[in-house]
Structure 1
Amino acid sequence: MAIETIKHVGVAGSGAMGSQIAMVCALHGYSVVLQDIEEKSLNKEKENLQIQMEKRIKKGRLSEEEANAAFDRLTFSLDINDFECADIVIEAIVEKLEAKRDLFEKLDEICPAHTILATNSSTIVSSKLADATKRPDKVCNIHFFNPALVMECVEVVKGPHTSDETANTAMEFVKSIGKLGVLLKKGISGFIANRILWKIRDEALYLLENGYATHEEIDLIVTKSLGHPIGPFALTDLTGLDVAYLVKLQRYQESGDDADKPSKIIEEKVKRGELGRKTEKGFYTYNA
């Protein structure tokens, strides 16, 4: 499918990632449907996007007319059937394999035969989803980084089932929304960036759990000595402790290796509902 034929974009899941992916696409001229099963989530992220756009307008990065036009192109929906005209759908729901497989099966029934079905998952390779559809050649990973409105790089991952045409179109689509795509010709859980980040976070958690330093001190050392823009604990708060927990749980279920189990600290915080910025408390405490 040629990039010129992509006019309508669907994004499934209106969390922080899904909503920002949808807005990026709308800002670059696409007609977008952002769908979720929770009206509360849709309303919350609509407000968040309005705040983000207002900040950009005040800083002179975006005109009011451009922001309004983007919102005019963006539909917030509770109905998955609104994807019936989508040329590409990007899934950004909870990081649980069965939930994603169920969604891909539904999308396969609803969407036109030419529609590319992509997952934004950072850990679940598309080969685990492709056989839930009758179009495995049109299934791939398109992995945006958080926050999607800001981060330039996008990992496009070609599974053994993904056609060259789909991979090339996905790369062209990423370019068309102002992002820098990197094509991975083989899938591996976590891809490139997150596999490196996981190693850093695992070591940071080991140092914290064994009393070598506090999370504040570890973040300070990483930012001031290694030059990272954000420390591993602040980054985990940003992306969500629940996401970190589910990622490790998925890896453990696949490997059976105790080393892949979620850390006790993150597991306990998730149980207490301390999920990071989204709940105003994680490793750090935040004001609303």
Structure 2
Amino acid sequence: MNIEELKNITVVGSGAMGSQIAMVCALAGYHVTLQDINHDSLEKAKNALKGHMENRIKKGRLSQDEVNAAFDRLQFETNLETAVKETDFVIEAIIELLDEKRKLFTQLDQLVSDHVILATNSSTFASSRLAYATNRPEKICNMHFFNPALVMELVEVVQGPHTSEATAKITVDLVERINKTPILLKKEIDGFVANRILAALTNEAISLYEKGVASIEEIDLACTKALNHPIGPFALLDLTGIDISYYAGMQLYQKTQNEADKPAKTIIDKFEKGELGRKTGKGFYVYS
């Protein structure tokens, strides 16, 4: 398969990331199926996407005809087998739990045609941890979007030792076709590029807060007003989900057994309280 033959895309997982990835692909002209076993989650995703598109129309970034055409190309489906029946490319965007992802990849491998590439949006797990749950490791890779996927331009494509050159090339080509900017990592490394840099900044921000050097608001202001970041590290944690940070830290700790890799106490406390950020209405900040 080459990029010209790629027509149908399936995104599995209708959370904020999965739903926006699906819309990005639909806006670029692909026929897309967004799959989730939870019907309510799909309805929530559909309504959220309608809101995002209405805002873009109001701002003159998209026309009503372009939005209508994108929604015509976007299907919502609860049944996994139906969702992947005619697919050429699958992007997995479910919860960051390794066992759940492995189960899904095994299931997908049995359902899709031989030519289909299975990509994971995960930034926590290198695709080598999923590839051998399938009989097509050469067609497995990471395709990591950033949140919010409708806005953020970069996509990290990670070519693991199992990933073929053809798979990496088609995935990079697809990133360009959906109007994003790809970088290709030729070596697997935990956190990839952007998140490794971000993690260093975030860990230092949390350390400054825990030591009482400055408040959450002041640390975020230092990053936005002095470093010219569009959003501070604590506001960003709220946006992406404090649970994501918790799971990523715990997975890394389980792999390394290094206490320094555990999530910070502040992250653990927020996770245990269920204060996960925007999705729960409260994290480091309170949201209406």
TM-score using structure 1 length: 0.98
Distance of 2:262 and 2:119 partners within structure 1: 27
Report deviation, 1:226: 1.3
Report deviation, 1:39: 1.5
Report Cα offsets for 1:157-181 as digits up to 9, x if no partner.
0000000000000010110000111
Give the letter for the 2:190 counterpart. S
Report Cα offsets for 1:27-70 as digits up to 9, x if no partner.
11111110112112111111100000000011111111111111
Distance of 2:143 and 2:198 partners within structure 1: 18
SS at match of 1:103: helix
Give the letter for the 1:181 counterpart. P
Report the equivalent of 2:255: 254
Report the equivalent of 2:100: 99
Query: 1:200-211 to 2 correspondence within 5 Å?
Result: 200-211=201-212
SS at match of 1:75: strand
1:164 counterpart = 2:170: no
Distance of 1:255 and 1:41 partners within structure 2: 34
Report the equivalent of 1:135: 136
SS at match of 2:102: helix
Give the letter for the 1:120 counterpart. N
Distance of 2:79 and 2:107 partners within structure 1: 12
Distance of 1:40 and 1:264 partners within structure 2: 33
Distance of 1:63 and 1:87 partners within structure 2: 28
Report the equivalent of 2:75: 75
Report the equivalent of 2:29: 29
Report the equivalent of 1:241: 242
RMSD of equivalent CA atoms = 0.8
Distance of 2:97 and 2:13 partners within structure 1: 13
TM-score using structure 2 length: 0.98
Give structure 1 regions of 4+ aligned residues with deviation exceeding 2 angstroms.
Answer: none
Report deviation, 1:80: 0.6
Distance of 1:61 and 1:277 partners within structure 2: 25
1:52 counterpart = 2:72: no
Structure 1 unaligned regions, length at least 5 = none
Distance of 1:186 and 1:22 partners within structure 2: 27
Query: 1:111-190 to 2 correspondence within 5 Å?
Result: 111-190=112-191
Give the letter for the 1:161 counterpart. H
Distance of 2:44 and 2:265 partners within structure 1: 30
Percentage identity across aligned positions? 60
Distance of 2:34 and 2:224 partners within structure 1: 35
Structure 2 unaligned regions, length at least 5 = none
Report deviation, 1:232: 0.5
SS at match of 1:37: coil
The worse-fitting range, judged by mean Cα deviation, of 205-214 and 108-117 is: 205-214
Distance of 1:176 and 1:187 partners within structure 2: 24
1:63 counterpart = 2:59: no
SS at match of 1:228: coil
Report deviation, 1:279: 1.3
Report deviation, 1:224: 1.1
Distance of 1:196 and 1:149 partners within structure 2: 22
Distance of 1:216 and 1:111 partners within structure 2: 48
Q: How many residues align?
A: 287
